[in-house]
Chains A and B, each alone.
Chain A
Amino acid sequence: MPKGTVSIKGKPDSEVKESLSEYGFNITVAEARRVVELVGRDPTLVELTIFNTMWSEHCSYKSSSKVLSEFLPTKASNVVMGPGEDAGVIRFAPAGKDDSYCLVIAHESHNHPSQVLPVEGAATGIGGIVRDVYCMGADVVGVLDPLRFGDPNGENGQESIAIARGVIDGIAQYGNALGVPNLGGDIIFDGGYDENCLVNVVAVGLVKESRLIRSRVPIEAKKIPYKLILVGKPTDDSGFGGAAFASEDLAGEGEADRGAVQVPDPFLKRVLTVANRRVLDLAHEKGVKVGFKDLGAGGIACVTSEMADAGGFGARLNLDQVNLATGDYSPSVISCSETQERYCLAVPEDFVDDVLAIYNEDYELPHIYHGAGAFVIGDVINEKSYRIESEGEVVCETPVKVITTGISYDREKKTGKRIFNEPELDPARSIEEDFLKIISSPNIASKNYVFRHYDSEVQGRAVIRPGEADAGVIAPIHGSKIGLAFSVDGNSYYGRVDPYQGGALAVCEAARNVAAVGAVPSTITDCLNYGNPEYPEIFWEFYEGVRGIGDACRGIGLIGKEGEPLPVVSGNVSFYNQGKSGKAIPPTPVIACAGVVEDYSRSRSIFFKEEGSSVFLIGEPLDELGGSEYYRQIYNTSGANIPQADFIRERNQIKTVIDMHGLGWIRACHDISQGGLITALAEMAIGANPALGLTVDLDEFGRTALEPEKLLFSETGNFVVELPGGIEREVLALCARNRVKLFRLGQLVSRPKLNITAGNERLATWDIAKLRDLYMNGCRGIFGKQERRISAR
């Protein structure tokens, strides 16, 4: 019988509630009573701390798991590993006769920590997500960072700017030092994030299928003794309660919450990464089977119980063996703190010395970082129990399943009532003037400041860099023409009007973006950012968003694999995104799409290339300006008619663009998104080297077409392509075969102007140099050098 129990049994609810809150626990009284039931007695403080973490929304997915499994397709012929472990895995190219190259991808949020401590919060976001990929045995080859910040011109403008700058600095500091290139990201500024920014992070890695490592004790432990090794930073109390912190509203002023933010160390991580690689290579050489998992939420208790249970084993730990930072820490803190830069290995007893020598001697962890190192902290046992000892006393003892079983809720949902109206267009407005406002708005203007702050070149695999095209492209395998393309998307303005469309359109746009560089969309991950799921309307938003994502994945499917869905292999749910005023963020499902390029030499930047090329629009602009940059900037309203996902059209258009890449026709390609057709054309012209211009005649769209401003600013997800002149007949035939609409927009000329006409009538003319100036400097006030550094708070 362990010592030091928390008495719950037989106590009235009020007393239980009081004692839970004294300990700072988030679990409810009912959950605490469930713990008593499971453990069969009053739990120890350590046990209750473990449950408090494991049953947090962040770890347990207790509100979301049923909805996710109801809607999201996770199986397809390319999937090696779907959701369940730290990252998802797909195969993308053969590696010799019996092996495959695999892409490993993971996606997480680090929203609350970034709101209270932007630099550290965002840096640990990167630090955590790369660990999820490393621990599958993969090399991390890139990160992406979809970010949502408050309105820089709003009431909290200065704070939003300070948070944005801090977050970007944190991401840069971690990724640059770790030596992982940034492959892309996006930024949206909106008042809906004033009190709760979103910092989502994606990491991608490479591994051969035969070298995948599982986050579990290997089956070999049935026959030979296995030990549990903890390696990395010395355990301290940083990030204690981090998972719980992510699972409640951001109500306070944040002071108390800062302790729940972990402390990042990319330097130590880099050395650990090199040493881990050596350990895994040696294990492979010797034919030794190991289990490997990173420490995240819930720390030592979580990682060891999950690894043991996943392998069908139990574990016995001794906290006295854990390397600690200077300080006095209770068994609960040692068991559950979220100290960064740590991994756990399960290795055979006779391999322990090799492992310890690599970490502690070859790479001198204890010497290069005070208190760091690798230490045996426990044994794998064949009996399925889980026991923790500290200073000669048992502080936790339960069947291992009790800890890992989890908890699930059926949350109530209630359809939200939303009333949105379309604005009346003002015929006196000038398209020419209005566009100058659009091209320089923070959501449209160049994020060059940010891209240049990240290392896009390290590892030497970059083919297309952030800002050069709709997706980043790398050449992952040395000497092979196979490419991988990545994009992240999630336009919150659509989800606000209709959360179903918000989810569906995020998938469509992410898929479109990788297709724009010639990649076949091959898998997605989702990071689902919503408010408090205990509110039925918020839960409805979440439910609808997931339903939309699932439909889009099945609707677009795996191009070239008839009947197979675009699989979701990994993801994350982030609830409780609401700040002190209680206002939830707009529903923000963020999708990362990975695509496989057959030949990366065909992947082109969005910028116009050659005089004499023909420019076409694939797809028709529809009266879908709801949530558009145009309505918001010019009419100061959202509007109602957001784009409606049409999966057949989407699939056909994506296939057409991929076909054009395959035929070697594409000179430049850009999808239509925020800001519409005219923004896409301007962006293609702005980066053209040498300068090129274009005249678009709107009569091409026919007499029954929309008003000029709707044609130009509609955000229907189409593509603009630059193709060689003289192949119009072949282009038309391909589009007819794929049943997509095609409009000829004009021919590139050396005169650097963008003109819009309707037959003989001139509607607008812009100097491309002027547009470039506005576009390149639109975010200067946010990211440019500031005379006085603003502190976060």
Chain B
Amino acid sequence: MQDSFSGKVAVIQFPGVNCESESVRAVRAAGLESEIFRWNMPPQLLGEALAVILPGGFSYQDRIRAGVVAAKDTIMDKLSDFARDGKPVLGICNGAQVLVEAGFIPGLHWEKIDLALAPNVMSDREGYYCNWVHVRAEGNNCLWMNKYKEGDVIPLPIAHAEGRFVTKDEDIINDMHKNNQIVLRYCTEVGDLDSSFPVNPNGSVENAAGICNPEGNVLAMMPHPERASWLRQVPEDISGKWKTKRRNACCRPEIMEDEGPGLAFFASLIREMTG
């Protein structure tokens, strides 16, 4: 815990989140300073931060609905100002649920809830699902993804029971497309979109795995990049290009500490800062 968050990435620890430590670790691995921000710390401290991450977990026990209670927390007022100033905000998994419940995402009408993260719809199983999936980088609108190229296929793990982006309003989907807001989509290891399970692991609309606001500084994503920030974290039997890299690291422990497929989300902040 720190007295100042100036120049640092603040990882907000709502009661019940459980990915704060590894998120801090991943941000630091990308070359930035990062600290945990306990939810009831003075809100003005948050204003000084370089960027804010809402990590995964079960904030406030998922009471009522995942993310709802945290979305109403007093710190969110400060975070709203922060985001509207164009500063970087990333919500991962439960953090994504908070951003959706707070109306930051899709952010077409600020703080209006236009989307939901609904229970997974999967053939042959129900509830919580944890696995590695592939997502495709779309467009070049999102600040958190400026180190990825359009069409990059990124293997990342997911772990959630409610990760299905959904809306009843077709206009919302059209607007999100128009603004290039659907920046991560579930795909096969070669980048093909397939709406069926397990390629689309939760039935998400448009295969959406990550959605940013129209300005591109706020990103809500269900997969966990902090769990894919080192090569050793990638399963050696994964399909696609990363398998070759991962298998090359077998019996070479020094290579295991190399960058994993998810680190670039955090490293993108450096590029953002340095132009």
Contact = CB atoms under 8 A, between A and B. Distances in A.
Interface residues of A, number: 48
Contacts of A455: 128, 130, 159
A458 B232 contact: no
Contacts of B40: 362, 364
A382 B18 CA distance: 41
Interface in B148-194: 157, 159
Interface in A665-722: 687, 689
B15 A363 contact: yes
B86 interface: no
A785 B125 contact: yes
Interface stretch (A266-274, A333-341, A429-437, A565-573): A266-274
Contacts of B25: 460, 478
Contact of B233 (A169, A179, A460, A687): A460
Nearest to A608: B237
Interface in A447-469: 449, 452-460, 462-463, 465, 468
B233 A176 contact: no
Interface stretch (B108-116, B134-142, B251-259): B251-259
Contacts of A605: 235-237
Contacts of B250: 601-602, 604
Nearest to B22: A460
Interface in A334-370: 362-364, 368
A664 B128 CA distance: 37
Nearest to A449: B125
Nearest to B247: A609
Given A457-B224, A458-B19, A458-B159, A481 B253 contact: yes
A369 to B, nearest CB: 9
Given A457-B224, A479-B257, A602-B250, A687 B237 contact: yes
Contact of A460 (B123, B129, B229, B235): B229
B159 A267 contact: no
A784 interface: yes
Interface residues of B, number: 49
Contact of B232 (A169, A449, A600): A600
A176 B16 CA distance: 11
Contacts of A459: 21-22
B131 interface: yes
Given A270-B57, A689-B243, A462 B233 contact: yes
Given A601-B249, A689-B243, A785-B124, A457 B16 contact: no
A599 interface: yes
A249 B215 CA distance: 64
A777 B93 CA distance: 29
Nearest to B257: A479
Contact of B16 (A271, A364, A599, A602): A271
Contacts of A601: 232, 249-253, 255-256
Contacts of B56: 458
Contacts of B224: 457
Contacts of B22: 458-460
B58 A177 contact: yes
Interface in A570-627: 599-602, 604-605, 607, 609
Majority-rule SS of A interface residues: loop
A176 B230 CA distance: 22
Nearest to B198: A452
Contacts of B84: none
Contacts of A462: 227, 233
A453 B129 contact: yes
Contact of A452 (B61, B131, B226, B252): B131
Given A600-B256, A601-B253, A178 B124 contact: no
Given A176-B159, A177-B18, A463-B232, A607 B127 contact: no
A172 interface: yes
Nearest to B189: A689
A785 B124 CA distance: 5
A458 B227 contact: yes
B245 to A, nearest CB: 13
Contacts of B247: 609
Which of A176, A478, A602, A664 has the most CB atoms of chain B within a 10 A radius of its CB? A176
Interface in A152-169: 169
Which of B236, B252, B255 has the most CB atoms of chain A within a 10 A radius of its CB? B236
B156 to A, nearest CB: 10
Contact of B58 (A267, A457, A664): A267
B195 interface: no
B243 to A, nearest CB: 7
A784 B232 CA distance: 31
Nearest to A179: B18
A780 interface: yes
Contact of A689 (B38, B230, B239): B239
A750 to B, nearest CB: 16
Contacts of B81: none
Nearest to B231: A601
Interface string A39-53: 000000000000000
Contacts of B236: 604-605
A785 B119 CA distance: 14
Contacts of B18: 177-179, 270, 458
Which of A454, A460, A784 has the most CB atoms of chain B within a 10 A radius of its CB? A460
A488 B36 CA distance: 35
B38 A270 contact: no
B253 A600 contact: yes
Contact of B15 (A271, A465, A602): A271
A577 B21 CA distance: 41
Contacts of A687: 237
B126 interface: yes
Nearest to A176: B128
A607 B237 contact: yes
A459 B226 CA distance: 9
Contacts of A463: 232-233
Contact of B157 (A274, A457, A481, A689): A457
A206 interface: no
A457 B235 CA distance: 11
B124 A456 contact: no
A454 B130 contact: yes
Given A368-B60, A600-B256, A475 B232 contact: yes
B13 interface: yes
A454 B61 CA distance: 17
Contacts of B235: 465, 468, 605
Contacts of B122: 785
Nearest to B224: A457
Interface in A307-342: none
Nearest to A277: B21
A179 B130 contact: no
Contacts of B38: 362-363
B105 to A, nearest CB: 23
Contacts of B57: 177, 179, 270
A176 B62 CA distance: 12
B37 to A, nearest CB: 13
Contacts of A454: 130
6 contacts: A177-B18, A179-B19, A449-B125, A455-B128, A455-B159, A478-B25
The list of the 6 closest CB pairs from A to B, nearest first, reads A179-B18, A481-B253, A267-B61, A460-B22, A601-B253, A664-B251
Interface of A: 169, 172, 176-179, 266-267, 270-271, 274, 362-364, 368, 449, 452-460, 462-463, 465, 468, 475, 478-479, 481, 599-602, 604-605, 607, 609, 664, 687, 689, 780, 783-785
Interface of B: 13, 15-16, 18-19, 21-22, 25-26, 38, 40, 56-58, 60-61, 122-131, 157, 159, 224, 226-227, 229-230, 232-233, 235-237, 239, 243, 247, 249-253, 255-257
Given A177-B61, A267-B61, A601-B252, 16 more contacts: A172-B127, A177-B16, A179-B18, A179-B57, A267-B58, A267-B60, A457-B157, A458-B18, A459-B22, A478-B25, A481-B253, A599-B251, A600-B232, A605-B235, A780-B124, A785-B126
